[in-house]
Amino acid sequence: MAREHFEDVEVGETRTFGEREVTREEILEFAERYDPQPFHTDETAAADSLFGGLIASGWHTAAMTMELLVTNVFTDLAATGALGVDELRWPSPVRPGDTLTVHTEVIDTEPWNEELGLVRSRTTTLVDGDEVMSMVGLVLYERRER
């Protein structure tokens, strides 16, 4: 299948995909291992926190967003890895039972070297239409051989 290379990417291109449920068990499992703050690991402490109940680690939301990107989109792209991410924000919490959807929009492209081009995309993670995470990903794509 023809994968989308750097030259094929158009600024303004959008995609919306994914319908991924977040379970209580997975929130606890991720948090106990990687982000053991009480509002991520302990129902009672979470109820007494600013958040009023258990919420997913922001890094867990990022990991689940990556899962949706890789399984829905990356197989169609000649993407070779990311330099990084700018403006990562968690404007509202993810709670047990929420369903995540992802929206991406290409905001900028520039050649990187002979083989690769850099694509900046704004990626937004949504629950019932509300933003729970946003970021600008800096991903390198292969250029077509000339």
> In the complex, which residues of this chain contact a second copy (CB under 8 A)?
30, 33-37, 39, 49-51, 57-60, 62-64, 66-67, 70-71, 74, 80-90
Helix (H, G, I), strand (E, B) or coil at 49: coil
Distance between CA atoms of residues 56 and 72, nearest Å:
22
CB 99 within 8 A of CB 20: yes
Exposure pattern of 40-63 as b/e (b: 16+ CB <10 Å)?
bbbeeebeebeeeebbbbbebbbe
If the CB atoms of residues 10 and 79 are measured against a second copy, the closer one turns out to be 79
Least distance between a second copy and beta carbon 62 (Å)? 6
Q: How far is the CB of 88 from a second copy (least distance, A)?
A: 4
Closest approach of a second copy to the CB of residue 85, in Å: 4
Nearer to a second copy, 8 or 115 (CB): 115
